[in-house]
């Protein structure tokens, strides 16, 4: 039963099982408000109540779901039939399940911005506006930043990553480690690949061992599985198909000193669209309170 709008979940549940996956979803905000479908970051993350801080919950009906293998979603095998295009289709299935037929706002940050753009390109007729922050286009050059460009600041760590990888692509190498049963190998993969990305996003100059539990391991497995498969996209797929969303109003909010997803990706997207506006925030790191406040003020 729908309640009054607030910053708490007013509806939650699971989509009917499909392809071995049960997708958890939840809704927040105004049940009669403007529908927004939100894609969380990762890969390997999950939707959180705190994501409501990006939106005007008095005005908007915020719809979120945990992507396949993530968070509260269920599967016997988290990576079976789990790829980018299926995540996009799950978003469409969720809207259909909730009987939402009107065009919606599609939103996301980081990896979620990737999925939001792909959703819009797949279903442009279902999208009235695109709202993104901390943009990640999942291009080869974006992955090369992690493995090469960031070495301008962490040359010692990247040298160690290359040494451990023994000539193999680091994402492939660490994906193999993370899927073993050896806790030492898993710890190494989390520290040198997954935690490194988080460290860049936080601008944390320290580099320490990371405590692991089942949730951390599962999230890391999804993250490395997607990265090792180049996010199941052809190179620069989003910008190559950008004409499909040229006329959809698009908001882009990005921190200038985002070391995880450098501003250039957001700028390249902005320059590729005819109906976009970009707000560059004078803030350090991947996301932060200034970015959240600026993003919310547009609603």
Which token pair is 147? Answer: 């493995």
pLDDT at 1 over 50: no
Could you read off the pLDDT of 230-246 as tens digits, one per residue?
Answer: 999 999 999 999 999 99
Domain tally, the chain: 2
Residue 209 annotated in active site = no
Q: For 48-76, what is the mean pLDDT?
A: 96
End position of a domain, from candidates 182, 206, 232:
232
pLDDT class for 6, splitting at 50, 70, 90?
Answer: low
Of 110, 126, 150, 219, the catalytic one is: 110
Same domain for 76 and 43: yes
pLDDT at 171 over 90: yes
**pLDDT for residue 42:** 94
In degrees and rounded to multiples of 5, residue 291 shows phi and psi of -65, -45
Could you read off the pLDDT of 114-125 as tens digits, one per residue?
Answer: 999 999 999 999
Beta strand pairing call for 74-75 and 127-135: unpaired
Same domain for 105 and 193: no
Dihedral through CA 252, CA 253, CA 255, CA 260, nearest 10? -50
Task: Note whether 139 and 235 are within 8 A (CB).
Answer: yes
Could you read off the pLDDT of 172-215 as tens digits, one per residue?
Answer: 999 999 999 999 999 999 988 888 888 888 877 777 777 889 99
Domain assignment present for 2: no
pLDDT at 7 over 60: yes
CA neighbor of 175 nearest in space, from 140, 225, 233, 231 = 225
Domain of 23 in residue numbering reads as 9-138+235-296
CA neighbor of 134 nearest in space, from 16, 297, 299, 278 = 278
Same domain for 214 and 70: no
In a 10 Å sphere around its CB, with 0-12 CB exposed, 13-18 middle and 19+ buried, how is residue 184 labelled?
exposed
Domain assignment present for 56: yes
Domain assignment present for 44: yes
Q: For 33-53, what is the mean pLDDT?
A: 96
Which token pair is 183? Answer: 């806790």
Domain assignment present for 101: yes
Of 66, 90, 142, 258, the catalytic one is: 258
> What whole-number distance in Å separates Cα of residue 224 and Cα of residue 118?
20
Domain assignment present for 3: no
CA neighbor of 286 nearest in space, from 253, 260, 267 = 260
Could you read off the pLDDT of 106-115 as tens digits, one per residue?
Answer: 999 999 999 9
Domain assignment present for 4: no
How big is the chain, counted in residues?
299
**pLDDT for residue 207:** 76
Domain assignment present for 268: yes
End position of a domain, from candidates 198, 215, 232:
232
- Bridge partners (DSSP) listed for residue 1: none
**pLDDT for residue 2:** 41
Same domain for 254 and 126: yes
Same domain for 251 and 113: yes
Q: Hey, is 297 helix, strand or coil?
A: coil
> Which residues have CB under 8 Å from 46's CB, separation 6+?
40, 66, 67, 70, 71, 72
Same domain for 23 and 117: yes
286: domain CATH number is 3.40.50.1820
| Sign of torsion over alpha carbons 130, 142, 268, 89 | negative
> Which residues have CB under 8 Å from 125's CB, separation 6+?
103
pLDDT at 163 over 80: yes
Same domain for 196 and 72: no
Same domain for 154 and 85: no
Residue 286 annotated in active site = yes
Same domain for 257 and 187: no
- Cα–Cα distance list, 168 to 1, 122, 141, 149, 178 (Å): 53, 34, 18, 18, 15
Same domain for 124 and 157: no
> What whole-number distance in Å separates Cα of residue 218 and Cα of residue 240?
32
> What whole-number distance in Å separates Cα of residue 292 and Cα of residue 296?
6
End position of a domain, from candidates 197, 232, 267:
232
**pLDDT for residue 212:** 86
Q: For 280-286, what is the mean pLDDT?
A: 95
* Location of structure tokens 């990576």: 79
| Mean pLDDT of the residues in the chain | 94
Domain assignment present for 197: yes
Same domain for 114 and 18: yes
Same domain for 173 and 247: no
**pLDDT for residue 41:** 96
Of 21, 51, 173, 286, the catalytic one is: 286
Q: For 7-21, what is the mean pLDDT?
A: 95
């Amino acid at each position: 039963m729908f309640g009054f709008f607030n910053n708490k979940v007013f509806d939650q549940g699971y989509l009917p099982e499909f392809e071995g996956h049960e997708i958890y979803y939840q809704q927040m905000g105004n049940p009669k408000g403007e529908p927004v479908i939100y894609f969380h970051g990762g890969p390997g993350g999950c939707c959180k109540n705190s994501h409501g801080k990006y939106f005007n919950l008095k005005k908007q009906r915020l719809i979120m779901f945990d992507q396949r293998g993530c968070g509260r979603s269920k599967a016997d095998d988290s990576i079976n039939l789990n790829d980018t295009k299926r995540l996009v289709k799950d978003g469409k299935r969720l809207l259909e399940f909730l009987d939402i037929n009107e065009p919606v706002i599609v939103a996301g940050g980081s990896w979620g911005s990737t999925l939001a753009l792909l959703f819009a390109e797949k279903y442009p007729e279902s999208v009235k506006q695109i709202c993104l922050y901390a943009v990640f286009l999942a291009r080869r050059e974006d992955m090369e930043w992690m493995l090469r460009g960031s070495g301008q600041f962490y040359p010692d760590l990247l040298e160690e990553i290359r040494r451990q990888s023994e000539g193999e692509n680091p994402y492939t190498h660490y994906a193999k480690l993370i899927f073993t049963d050896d806790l030492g190998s898993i710890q190494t993969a989390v520290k040198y690949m997954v935690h490194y990305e988080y460290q860049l996003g936080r601008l944390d100059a320290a580099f320490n061992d990371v405590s692991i539990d089942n949730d951390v391991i599962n999230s890391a497995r999804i993250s490395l599985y997607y990265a090792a498969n180049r996010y199941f996209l052809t190179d620069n797929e989003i910008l190559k198909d950008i004409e499909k969303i040229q006329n959809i109003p698009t908001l882009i909010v990005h921190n200038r000193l985002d070391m995880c997803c450098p501003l250039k990706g957001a700028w390249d997207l902005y320059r590729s669209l005819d109906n976009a506006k970009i707000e560059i925030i004078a803030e350090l790191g991947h996301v932060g309170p200034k970015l959240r406040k600026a993003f919310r003020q547009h609603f």
